Amino acid sequence: RLIRFDEELPSSLMTSSAQTGPTQRQVHLNTPFNDQKPGTSGLRKSSKQFEQTNYLESFIEAIFQTLPGVEGGTLILGGDGRYGNHRAIDVILRMGAAHGLSRVITTTNGILSTPAASHLIRANKAIGGIILSASHNQGGPDGDFGVKVNGANGGPAAESLTNAIYACSQALEKYSLVDADVIPLETPGHHAIGGMTVDVIDGVEDYVELMQKLFDFGRIKDLIKTDFPVVFDAMHAVTGPYAKRLLEGLLGAPTGTVRNGVPLEDFGGGHPDPNLTYAAELADLLLNGKAYSFGAACDGDGDRNMILGRGCFVNPSDSLAILAANANVAPAYADGLAGVARSMPTSAAVDVVAKQLNIDCFETPTGWKFFGNLLDAGRITLCGEESFGTGSNHVREKDGLWAVLFWLQILAERRCSVADVMTQHWSRFGRHYYSRHDYEAIASENAHGLYNRLESMLPRLIGQPFAGRQVSQADNFSYSDPVDGSETQSQGLRILLEDGSRVVVRLSGTGTKGATLRVYLECYEPSHGNLNQDPQHALADLINGIDALAEIQKRTGMQRPTVIT
C-alpha cells in the first residue's frame, strides 16, 4: 500500500536510526573550497568536481548555515535523476538531520522536476528546496552535476542569498552530518532520521493535480482524439514520468507518444537541451515528416520547452507572445493577465502584445530569479525567456510541460495548425525575426577579451551607422527591480538601432567548459511587411555587422556558431 505523507506514521515503517538515535559527527575541512560560486542557476560543475572529497558536503553546509528557517523547517528535495542524484539525496538528508530540519519531503527515486519542486515548496510552506540538476547540461560521470537552491516562494534563490552561501563556503572549517541508514527511495514511504521526518512521496502527483486546475483537460483530450497526433521527447530526463501521466494517461494520447520517457543517469548519452540541435530527432520528425501535428521536448530538469508544429519551429520569444495573446483560452488565465515580463535578450514580440492588451511589460536580466518579485507582487502573470523558458504565477520556476499544455489548450480552442497560429499572430502583431548564435567552449580569455573590447567600443557607437541603420543606444544592460529597488549591473551588451532592431552580446552564465558567447539578433517587420523570410536571411545584415565589429570569427577561431536557434 502507498503511504501518503499526510498519514499517521505506522511505527513498523520507521527506519532503525529513529529508534536508536543517529550519531552526529563533524568533519573538518583542511582548506575551504574557493570555487563554489553559484552561477545563473545554482552551483554547476562537472560530476568529477562534485566527487572530490567533501565538495558536495561543503556546499550543502553553506546552504544550511545560510538559508533562513532550517531549524524546525521543512525542505523539498529531489532532482532530475542524473548521475549523483541518489548520493546527493543521502548526503543532504543526513546533513539536514544534523542541522535540525524537522521534515524533508523527497520523491520516489529522487525524481522531481524543477517546476514540480517549486510547487511542492509553495504547497507545503517549506523554507525552500534543493534541486539536484545541471539543467540542460549533459549528465553521467563525464557530464555535469548541479545543486540549485530555491527559497520559500518556490523560486530560485535571490542573488543576496547565493552570494551569502558562497561567502559561507569560502570560510567553512567543518560540516555536520549524522550517520544513518540510507533511506529507500524506491516507493513512497514515511521515515525518520533522528527527529527529522523524511517523507518519500510520488513526485508527479501534486504537479499533475496543479495542471488539471490550470487547463481544461477535456478540451485537450478532444483535440488529441481528433486527427491531431502529438509527440513528446523527454530526452531520457525528468519529464518522462510526468509527460506519460499527463499525455498518455489523462489526455488519452497513445502509448509511445512520450519518447525517451525513462529517466537515465546519463540521459542516454544525449544532451538534454530542447533545441533544434540537441533534440534533432524530434525536430526531424516535425520539420521533415508528416506523422505529427505537434511536437515538444523539455530539458533535463523539466523547466525548458521547445514547441514544434508540422514543418514549423516556434521561436521561444514568439511562444511567449502567443501564450500572452491567447491566454484567455486557459481557465487559469481567463480573467486576463496582470502584466507580462521577458528577459532582456528575449525578443520584443510580447511587448507588442502587452501594448495591445494594455498591460505592463517588464524587461529583466537573464535568469528566472528576476521574475520572482514581479510574480510575488502580482505585477505579472506570464513571463518568459529566449532560452526556451516560459512560465506563470502558478509556480516560481519556468515550466516546460505547462507550456506544452498551454499550447495544446490554444490549439484545442483554435483548431488550426501550429503554423497557422504563428502566421495569424504575425499578421496581427508583426513579426520579430529573431535568432541566437552560440559559440560554445571558447577559451575563456578569448571570450572575455572579445566582450571587454566590445564593451569599451559601445559609447563611441551611438549615432554611428551599423548594419545599414543608425545606432540609437549602446550600453551594458542594468536593471532596477521595480518591487524592491535592487540594482543589477552588467547584464549584457546591447546595440539598439533606430528602427527597433538590435544585437545583444552576452557570456553564458551556465556553461562549464570554457566560455560560451551568445549573440542575440532581432529585427521587426510590421504586419503588412514580408513575414515569410528565413530568419537567418532577414537578420543577415545584423549578423555580418556584429561579426565585423566584434571580430567574432577572428577572436573565437570559429567559422560559424556551434548552435543556431
Supply the minimum distance, in Å, between the C-beta of residue 526 and ligand G6P: 28
Q: For residues 93-152, which are near Zn ion according to CB under 5 A? A: 135
Secondary element (H or E) of residue 505: strand 502-507
Supply the minimum distance, in Å, between the C-beta of residue 138 and ligand G6P: 14
Q: For residues 119-148, which are near ligand G6P according to CB under 6 A? A: 135
Q: Which lies closer to ligand G6P via its Cβ, residue 40 or residue 472?
A: 40
Q: For residues 512-541, which are near ligand G6P according to CB under 6 A? A: 518
Decide which of Zn ion, ligand G6P, none touches 301; Cβ closer than 5 to 8 Å per partner kind.
Zn ion
| Cell 507572445 -> residue | 321
Supply the minimum distance, in Å, between the C-beta of residue 116 and ligand G6P: 15
Interface characters, 251-290, with Zn ion (x: CB under 5 A): ----------------------------------------
Q: For residues 362-381, which are near ligand G6P according to CB under 6 A? A: 366-368
DSSP class of residue 501?
-
Phi/psi region, residue 157 (left: phi>0; alpha: psi -120 to 50; beta: rest), is beta
In the sheet where 74-79 sits, what is the strand order? 43-46, 144-150, 128-132, 74-79, 103-107, 196-201, 189-193
Q: What are phi and psi of 298, to 5 degrees?
A: -125, 165
The one among 169, 176, 293, 387 contacting ligand G6P by CB under 6 A? 387
Mark whether 501 is an active-site residue. no
- Residue 399 makes CB contacts below 8 A (sequence gap 6+) with 115, 118, 302, 303, 390, 391, 392
DSSP secondary structure of 253-270: PPTTSEES-S--TTGGG-
Q: For residues 498-557, which are near Zn ion according to CB under 5 A? A: none
Distance CA 371, CA 367 (A): 8
Q: Is 299 in the site for Zn ion (CB under 5 A)?
A: yes
Q: What is the CA radius of gyration of the chain?
A: 24
Q: Is 346 in the site for ligand G6P (CB under 6 A)?
A: no
**The one segment of 82-90, 297-305, 335-343, 477-485 that binds Zn ion by CB under 5 A:** 297-305
The one among 61, 199, 202, 301 contacting Zn ion by CB under 5 A? 301
Q: Which of 17, 135, 392, 501 is catalytic?
A: 135
Q: Is 40 in the site for ligand G6P (CB under 6 A)?
A: yes
Distance CA 300, CA 239 (A): 8
Q: Which lies closer to ligand G6P via its Cβ, residue 189 or residue 372?
A: 372
Q: For residues 483-502, which are near ligand G6P according to CB under 6 A? A: none
Q: Which lies closer to Zn ion via its Cβ, residue 305 or residue 347?
A: 305
Q: Is 41 in the site for ligand G6P (CB under 6 A)?
A: yes
Give exposure, 302-313, as e/b (b: 16+ Cβ within 10 Å). Answer: bbbbbbbbbebb
DSSP class of residue 416?
S
Supply the minimum distance, in Å, between the C-beta of residue 557 and ligand G6P: 21
Q: Is 385 in the site for ligand G6P (CB under 6 A)?
A: yes
Decide which of Zn ion, ligand G6P, none touches 138; Cβ closer than 5 to 8 Å per partner kind.
none
Distance CA 433, CA 430 (A): 10
Q: Is 510 in the site for ligand G6P (CB under 6 A)?
A: yes
In the sheet where 493-497 sits, what is the strand order? 465-466, 469-476, 493-497, 502-507, 515-525, 431-442, 563-564
- Residue 135 makes CB contacts below 8 A (sequence gap 6+) with 41, 44, 80, 114, 146, 299, 300, 301, 303, 304, 510
Q: Is 303 in the site for Zn ion (CB under 5 A)?
A: yes
Please report, as ranges, the residues that interact with Zn ion according to CB under 5 A.
Answer: 135, 299, 301, 303-304
Catalytic amino acids?
135
Please report, as ranges, the residues that interact with ligand G6P according to CB under 6 A.
Answer: 40-41, 135, 343, 366-368, 385, 387, 389, 508-510, 518
